Structure 1
Amino acid sequence: PEKRCGKTVLLGVLARLACRPLAVSNIAPAALFRALELWTPTLLIDEVDAFLDAHDEARGILNAGFTRDTAFVIRCVGDDHMPTRFNVWGAKALCGIGKIADTLADRSIPLRLRRKLPGERTVKMRHANPAVFTQLASKLARFAIDNREAIRTARPAEVEGLNDRANDCWEPLLAIAELAGGNWPRLARIAAVTLHGLEEDAPSIGAELLTSIRDAFDNRRADRLSTADLLEALAEDEEAPWAAWNRGKPMTSHQLAKRLSEFSIKSGNVRIGLKTPKGYKREQFEEAFKRYLPTDTPKTSATPPQTSNHAACSDIKSATQHPAVADRNSPKATAGEDCGGVADRTPPHVEEEALPLWDENDKEEL
Structure 2
Amino acid sequence: MTAVDSCGIERTADDMGAALLDDLAAWMDRYIKTAQPGDLHTLVLWAVHTHLALALYTSPRLLLDSPVPGSGKTTVLDHLNRLCHKPMQAASLSSPSLLVRFLEHGPRTVLVDEADRTLNPKAEGVSELLAVLNSGYRRGASRPVLIPDREGGWATREMPTFGPVAMAGNAPDLPDDTRSRCIRVLLLPDTEGTVEDSDWELIEQGALDLHARIETWADYVREDVRTTRPEYPEGLKGRNRERWAPLLRVAYAAGGHWPGRCLELIDADLERQEMDREAGLQRTARHIVLLDHIRQVWTEGRPFMPTMELLALLKSTHPDYWKHHDYGELTRQGLARMLANHFNIRAVRETGGDRHRGYFYVDLEPAWNAFGMGGPTREA
TM-score (norm 1): 0.64
Q: Residues 33, 228 of structure 1: CA spacing in aligned structure 2 closer, same or farther, 3 A cutoff?
A: same
Identify which of 360, 363, 367 aligns with 1:284.
Answer: 363
| Contact 2:97–2:145 (CA under 8 A) maintained in structure 1 | no
2:225 corresponds to: 151
Secondary structure of the residue aligned to 1:110 is: strand
Of 253, 257, 267, the residue aligned with 2:332 is: 253
Contact 2:130 2:178 (8 Å CA) reproduced: yes
SS in 1 for 2:110: strand
Q: Which residue of 1 aligns with 2:85?
A: 19
Residues 1:88 and 2:161 aligned together: yes
Opposite residue 264 of structure 1, the aligned amino acid is N
Cα deviation for residue 252 of structure 1 reads 0.6
Measured after TM superposition, the shift of residue 34 of structure 1 is 1.4
> Any gaps of 5 or more consecutive residues in structure 2?
1-64, 375-380
Note the C-alpha offset of 1:257. 0.7
| AA of the residue aligned to 1:167 | R
What does residue 312 of structure 2 align with? 232
From the superposition, tell whether residues 267 and 178 of structure 1 become closer, same or farther in structure 2 (CA, over 3 Å): same
Give the whole-Å Cα distance in 1 for the aligned partners of 2:314 and 2:139. Answer: 43
User: In the alignment, residue 14 of structure 1 is paired with which amino acid?
Assistant: L
Counterpart CA distance in 1 for 2:317 and 2:185 is: 28
Change (3 A) 1:41 1:141: same
Q: Distance in 2 between matches of 1:276 and 1:85?
A: 51
**1:4 corresponds to 2:55:** no
3-state SS of the aligned residue for 1:261? helix
Q: What is the correspondence of 1:127-206 to structure 2 with a 5 Å cutoff?
A: 130=203, 133-195=207-269, 198-199=272-273, 201-206=282-287
Q: Is the 8 A contact 1:47 1:95 kept in 2?
A: yes
Q: Which has the higher helix share?
A: 2
Alpha-carbon distance in 2 for matches of 1:147, 1:156:
14
* Runs of at least 5 residues in structure 1 that lack an aligned partner in the other structure: 296-366
Deviations 1:324-366 (CA, angstroms, capped at 9, x unpaired): xxxxxxxxxxxxxxxxxxxxxxxxxxxxxxxxxxxxxxxxxxx
Aligned partner of residue 86 in structure 1, secondary structure:
strand
CA contact (8 A) 1:74 1:84 kept: yes
The question of whether the paired residues in 2 share the 8 Å contact of 1:170 and 1:192 is answered with yes
Residue 213 of structure 1, CA deviation: 2.1
CA deviation string 1:171-205 (max 9, x = no partner): 33222211222332233234234335645633222
Which of 267, 273, 276 in structure 1 is aligned with 2:347?
A: 267
| 8 Å CA contact retained: 1:161, 1:193 | no
Instruction: Note the aligned Cα RMSD (angstroms).
Output: 3.7
2:186 counterpart (113, 117, 137):
113
Letter in 1 for 2:338: R
| Partner residue of 2:195 out of 123, 145, 151 | 123
Question: Counterpart of 2:163 in structure 1: which amino acid?
Answer: G
> How far apart are residue 170 of structure 1 and its match?
3.0
* TM-score where L is the length of structure 2: 0.62
Q: Tell me the number of residue pairs that the alignment of Structure 1 and Structure 2 aligns.
A: 289
- Structure 1 CA distance, aligned partners of 2:292 and 2:114? 33
- Of Structure 1 and Structure 2, which has the larger fraction of its residues in strand? 2
Q: 1:15 to 1:242 in 2, by over 3 A?
A: farther
Query: Is the Cα contact below 8 Å between 2:112 and 2:168 reproduced in 1?
Result: yes
The answer on whether the counterparts of 2:183 and 2:243 sit within 8 Å (CA) in structure 1 is no
Distance change (3 Å), C-alpha of 1:249 and 1:279: same
CA distance 1:12–1:231, change in 2 (3 Å): farther
What does 1:18-37 align with in structure 2 at a 5 Å threshold? 18-27=84-93, 28-37=95-104
CA distance in 2, matches of 1:253, 1:235: 12
